């Protein structure tokens, strides 16, 4: 049994919010979107703190890697702004891509940062020097998302051409391409133990891949419209999906059964437009939307 209750609604963004990320510092959330700045919020009392810094274009990705005093912000321009928490300012722009950056993830054991762009390439940057190390041409079209399994030492890239490309984490060698989706792949997440990969697409299908040989284990008609994001609970065997259909759904991570729907249709005070990103903060689920709001849900599990 899962019960949900909305405990906060954070307002202040004047335009759609595309992404959210917890800070390395507990109790802090960052959000970005079609506004002119990255916003910092307190999760201790659910209040606005400040606009961190202005940006010249929409923000599609924010990443705060563990162990580093940085926030990386991917912009529509193709640049990645590097904000240094110690110096409290943007210390560098990672300049390479000339088309929008859609996702950023750190490969922390290698002290490297991956940046995925609409140009079909992924750039690899040093987290130590912030210099460009390699470029991987993953696709001829947009790469929308990155997920890394440290357990499996694999990286998956979700692409606009409806494929999911699997690469080796150690040498960035190509392993295989998963081609079962019929539209752009917007979201992908490895399970915490690396035993399976979840992918969500504009085709509204959630696919489960066994990572031993990347065979399709299960296909779930999960939503009415595009699946924008997938987020595993940090400690419990559940994951949540966010969709363009304005709903959030919580699923069992063992049998992939639907356990809860968060939507207006279900009588909950939820989003009125596309839900773009989800972040778990313990048992609190944070959602951001085209409707310009950040909602915080208290999720209680009684198995």
Tokens 């939503």 -> residue: 223
Q: Is the pLDDT of residue 100 over 80?
A: yes
DSSP character string of 193-204: TSSEEEEEETTS
Close Cβ partners of 107 (under 8 Å, ≥ 6 residues apart) = 113, 114, 148, 155, 169
pLDDT digits (tens, 9 = 90+) for 31-79: 999 998 999 999 999 999 999 999 999 999 999 999 999 999 999 999 9
Tokens of 248: 């959030």
Residue 213's pLDDT is 97
Q: Is the pLDDT of residue 98 over 90?
A: yes
Tokens of 187: 């979201």
Exposure string over 24-45, b if 16+ CB within 10 A, otherwise e: eeeebbbbbbbbebbbbbebee
- Strand partners for 298: 5, 284
Query: pLDDT category, 303, cuts 50, 70, 90?
Result: low
Percent of the chain at pLDDT > 70 equals 100
In degrees, to the nearest 5, what angle opens at C-alpha 141 toward C-alphas 228 and 36?
55
**Residue 163 maps to which CATH number?**
2.130.10.10
pLDDT digits (tens, 9 = 90+) for 213-241: 999 999 999 999 999 999 999 999 999 99
| Total number of domains in the chain | 1
Question: What is the rounded CA–CA span in Å between residue 109 and residue 155?
Answer: 13
Residue 36's pLDDT is 87
Pair 163, 151: CB distance under 8 Å: no
Residue 79's pLDDT is 98
pLDDT digits (tens, 9 = 90+) for 107-150: 999 999 999 999 999 999 999 999 999 999 999 999 999 999 99
> Within 10 Å of residue 9's Cβ, how many Cβ atoms?
11
Residue 301's pLDDT is 97
Pair 147, 189: CB distance under 8 Å: yes
Domain extent, residue 79, equals 2-301
- Mean pLDDT rounded to a whole number for the chain: 98
pLDDT digits (tens, 9 = 90+) for 172-199: 999 999 999 999 999 999 999 999 999 9
């Amino acid at each position: 049994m899962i019960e949900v209750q909305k405990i906060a609604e954070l307002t202040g963004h004047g335009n759609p919010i595309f992404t959210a990320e917890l800070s390395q510092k507990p109790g802090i959330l960052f959000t970005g979107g079609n506004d002119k700045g990255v916003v910092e919020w307190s999760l201790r009392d659910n209040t606005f703190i400040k606009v961190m810094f202005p940006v010249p274009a929409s923000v599609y990705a924010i990443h705060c890697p563990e162990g580093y005093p940085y926030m990386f912000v991917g912009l529509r321009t193709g640049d990645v702004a590097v904000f240094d928490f110690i110096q409290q300012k943007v210390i560098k722009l990672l300049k390479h891509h000339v088309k929008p950056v859609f996702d950023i993830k750190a490969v922390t054991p290698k002290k490297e940062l991956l940046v995925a762009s609409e140009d079909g390439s992924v750039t690899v940057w040093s987290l130590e020097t912030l210099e460009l190390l390699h470029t991987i041409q993953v696709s001829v079209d947009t790469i929308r998302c990155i997920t890394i399994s440290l357990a499996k030492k694999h990286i998956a890239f979700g692409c606009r051409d409806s494929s999911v490309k699997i690469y080796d984490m150690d040498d960035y060698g190509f392993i295989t391409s998963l081609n079962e989706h019929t539209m752009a792949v917007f979201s992908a997440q490895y399970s915490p133990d690396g035993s399976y990969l979840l992918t969500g697409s504009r085709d509204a299908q959630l696919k489960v891949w066994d990572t031993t040989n990347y065979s399709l284990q299960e296909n779930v008609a999960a939503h009415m419209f595009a699946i924008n994001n997938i987020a595993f609970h940090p400690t419990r065997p559940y994951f949540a999906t966010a969709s363009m259909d304005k709903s959030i759904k919580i699923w069992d991570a063992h049998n992939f059964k639907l356990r809860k729907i968060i939507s207006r249709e279900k009588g909950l005070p939820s989003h009125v437009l596309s839900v773009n990103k989800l972040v778990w903060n313990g048992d609190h689920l944070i959602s951001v939307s085209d409707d310009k709001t950040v909602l915080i849900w208290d999720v209680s599990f009684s198995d």
